[in-house]
Amino acid sequence: MPRLLTDPVDLTGLVLADVRGGDPVDLGSLPGPAVLATIRHRY
């Protein structure tokens, strides 16, 4: 089962490009709440 960590992590300064050419997203400015799903490899 996954470990659940509850200490807050500041995402300020993380600006990532949209893979389909959309506007870059500043994760530090994400209005909440939102879910971030980070994947492993693409295959």
Partner 1 sequence: MATEAGRDVPVVAVGFDDAEALGLLADHLGWTSPFLADPDRRLYARLGMRRAPWWRVWSPRTLAFYRRALRRAPVPRPVDPASVDVSQMGGDAVVVDGEAVRRWLPRTPVDRVAPAVLVAAARGERSDGDVNGAQTESM
One symbol per residue from 13 to 32: x for binding partner 1 (CB under 8 A), - otherwise; what is it? -x-xxxxxxx--x-xxxxxx
Number of residues in contact with partner 1, rule: CB under 8 A? 38
Chain centroid to Cα 7, Å, comes to 16
Q: How far is the CB of 15 from partner 1 (least distance, A)?
A: 9
Nearest to 12 by CA among 27, 22, 1: 27
Q: How far is the CB of 23 from partner 1 (least distance, A)?
A: 9
Measured CA to CA, the distance from residue 26 to residue 10 in angstroms comes to 12
What values do phi and psi take at 25, rounded to 5? -115, 125
Q: Which residues bind partner 1 (CB under 8 A)?
A: 1-12, 14, 16-22, 25, 27-43
